[in-house]
Amino acid sequence: MLPFVFVDRTIPDEVAAYLAEHFEVEIWDHQKGSIPKELLGEKLSRAAGFMTGGRSINESFLEQAPLLKAVSTISVGYNHFDTEAMRRRGVIGTHTPYVLDDTVADLTLALMLAAARRVAELDRYVKEGKWSRSDGVKLFGKDVHHAKLGIIGMGRIGEAVAKRARFGFDMEIAYYNRSRKPEVEARLQASYTPQLQDLLADSDFVVLLTPLTPQTNKLIGREEFERMKRDAIFINVSRGQTVDEQALIEALQNGTIGAAGLDVYEQEPIQPDNPLLGMPNVVTLPHIGSATTQTRNEMAMLAARNLVHALTGLQPAYIVSELADLS
């Protein structure tokens, strides 16, 4: 009898077919909404593997899955994994890094350009019939080319952003990271800034690209915004919880910083009454960093390969670091 695997969201047909070569597979059509609690519990009670788009894998989830051996998330971030609970039960966790690097980097540049040149704001301005030839300075934005970009978190996505910014827009690149990367500095003409506060004070654009960890939770708050230039543009494509959102709101309302481009929020979906949604100097996207058809399909296939390897005795390519010794 083949092991049973449950997938909590729609996946491409070729990915489903690949999984079906190895397992008995059931896939929930997430367009129907959330999985009923009782149905999820029934599926988990006999699942050896679980593939998810971001469901919280915690103690209560694991209690419903006594046969579970591996969870594969279709994402690079895995802050929805309670790795300690998974370790106690011997459940391997895998994720999908690298495949989305270029796509997220593209979106980061799109947010920078949109916020700097007020693309969304002025799009509405034209469509609402407000455009007049006498507008002049009312329509002015901020140059991206030759500006200074400060990157917080120089991982692979950070490198991809720096490459685009340096060689596409002649930007000056500075970065703050847990460790220095001389090879990146040489290749991308980037400068290492050991103190975060110095990076914030000197940058025209600040891009946050750190994973969410206990150390990066609310990494950017009131003090950090106060260190930024008054016309600085802040971009967050990491996780919403890496920023004190109330401090960001206040910084934008008070003119402490100039503008923001956001793909992530403390609460998702963002609530309709969130002040960020009423600010013309904020570009808001619905957490779409990796959301292109090609990239999402590649992520789903990588997640499927991870799960197949984990359940067939092979070494998955991308086990989360906290659980690597379980394989």
Is residue 30's pLDDT more than 90?
no
287 a catalytic residue: yes
Q: Which of 55, 118, 164, 239 is catalytic?
A: 239
Rounded Cα–Cα distance for residues 191 and 187 (Å): 11
172 a catalytic residue: no
Q: In the predicted model, what is the mean pLDDT of residues 130-152?
A: 94
Q: In the predicted model, what is the mean pLDDT of residues 153-168?
A: 98
Q: Percent of the chain beyond pLDDT 90?
A: 95
Amino acid at 185: E
118 a catalytic residue: no
Rounded Cα–Cα distance for residues 207 and 235 (Å): 5
Query: Which pairing describes strands 282-284 and 259-262: parallel, antiparallel, or unpaired?
Result: parallel
Is residue 327's pLDDT more than 80?
no
Share of the chain residues as helix, strand and coil, in percent rounded to the nearest 5 = 40, 15, 45
When pLDDT is cut at 50, 70 and 90, the band that residue 281 belongs to is very high
Peptide bond into 269 cis (omega under 30): yes
Q: In the predicted model, what is the mean pLDDT of residues 171-175?
A: 98
Q: Which of 14, 63, 223, 268 is catalytic?
A: 268
Q: Which of 9, 22, 46, 287 is catalytic?
A: 287
Q: Are 188 and 133 in contact (CB under 8 A)?
A: no
In this prediction, residue 80 carries a pLDDT of: 94
Q: Give the burial class of 313: count Cβ atoms within 10 A of its Cβ; 0-12 exposed, 13-18 middle, 19 or more buried.
A: exposed
| pLDDT tens digits for range 110-122 | 999 999 999 999 9
Q: Are 193 and 150 in contact (CB under 8 A)?
A: yes
List the structure tokens of 165: 């910014």
Q: What is the DSSP string of 5-16?
A: EEESS---HHHH
Amino acid at 227: R
| pLDDT tens digits for range 210-226 | 999 999 999 999 999 99
Is residue 89's pLDDT more than 80?
yes
H-run or E-run covering 64: none
Task: For residue 118, give every residue at least 6 positions away whose Cβ sits within 8 Å of its Cβ, in sequence order, or none.
Answer: 139, 141, 259, 280, 281
Q: How many Cβ atoms sit within 10 Å of the Cβ of residue 37?
A: 9
CB-based burial, 114-152: b 16+ in 10 Å, e otherwise:
bbbbbbbbbeebeeeeeeeeeeeeeeebbebeebbbbbb
State pTM to two decimals: 0.91
Domains of the chain: 4-97+293-326 (3.40.50.720), 101-284 (3.40.50.720)
Distances (CA, A) of 61 to 41, 44, 71: 9, 8, 11
User: Following CA atoms 168, 170, 176, 182 in sequence, which dihedral angle do they give, to the nearest 10 degrees?
Assistant: 90
Is residue 135's pLDDT more than 90?
no
Mean pLDDT score of the chain: 96
In this prediction, residue 40 carries a pLDDT of: 96
